Amino acid sequence: MHWYGLMYVLGFLAGWLGLRWRARKPGSSVGPAEVEDLVFYIAVGVFVGGRIGYMLLYNLAGLIENPLSLFFVWQGGMSFHGGLLGVLIAIGLFARRRGHDYFTVTDQAAPWIPPGIFFVRVGNFINAELWGRETDVPWAVIYQGEALHPSQLYEATLEGLVLFVVLLLYSAKPRPLMAVSALFLLLYGVFRFAVEFIRVPDNGIYVAWDWLTLGQIYTAPMIVGGIVLLVLAYRGPRRVEA
């Protein structure tokens, strides 16, 4: 059983079911007949963007040494930030092809991304990867003789469950256009930045001050971008009904 692949399948299934439910509500930008196409675009964006992002952001030396390593997917290596950028581009292509406003699509899709994050982080835990630092907390997990923070489960809870509930409740009420997308960027960024303090950095390397990680550097623009978009959303004239 390839658990990591199964978790991706469950994530896309949850997103598909959620978008199908949302598409049936009055005022939805993406109709029920378009959901499968949107999920396909998002899936391509996740895998292509996630793989390219990982190689560029975390394994650039290996990519330069052997450009074909980009296609060595059996060796693992996916980046959330690359996947997110791939999804944003893919949604842009979908919106342009279908004649939708970009942010109406991202607002509709945003609440259904966290379930996928939840399942993928659970997959990280099952695969025994992306562990936290050593700790003596009662809920520490013993791995290879060390008591470690289960940072994968922290991320599954915050970036998956908590973010999903907040976005679902927020998007159920009238709000400005672009606000749901902005809130996703802001909260994910805050949650990820916080967990990075107790998560072992990729390749075990701190960028500076024995605490700053690449994950925090790549996540900081999401926090800033989320704040900026949220301010612009509430200053804008367009509102969206639940």
Say whether pLDDT at 202 is over 80. no
**CA angle, 214 as apex, 123 and 222 as ends, to 5°?**
80
Say whether pLDDT at 128 is over 60. yes
pLDDT of residue 112: 96
- What is the distance between the alpha carbons of residues 156 and 119, in angstroms, rounded to a whole number? 7
pLDDT (mean) for 43-56: 91
| Mean predicted lDDT score pLDDT of the chain | 91
Share of the chain above pLDDT 70, in %: 97
pLDDT of residue 1: 52
Domain boundaries, the chain: 3-129+142-240
CB 236 within 8 A of CB 178: yes
pLDDT of residue 205: 76
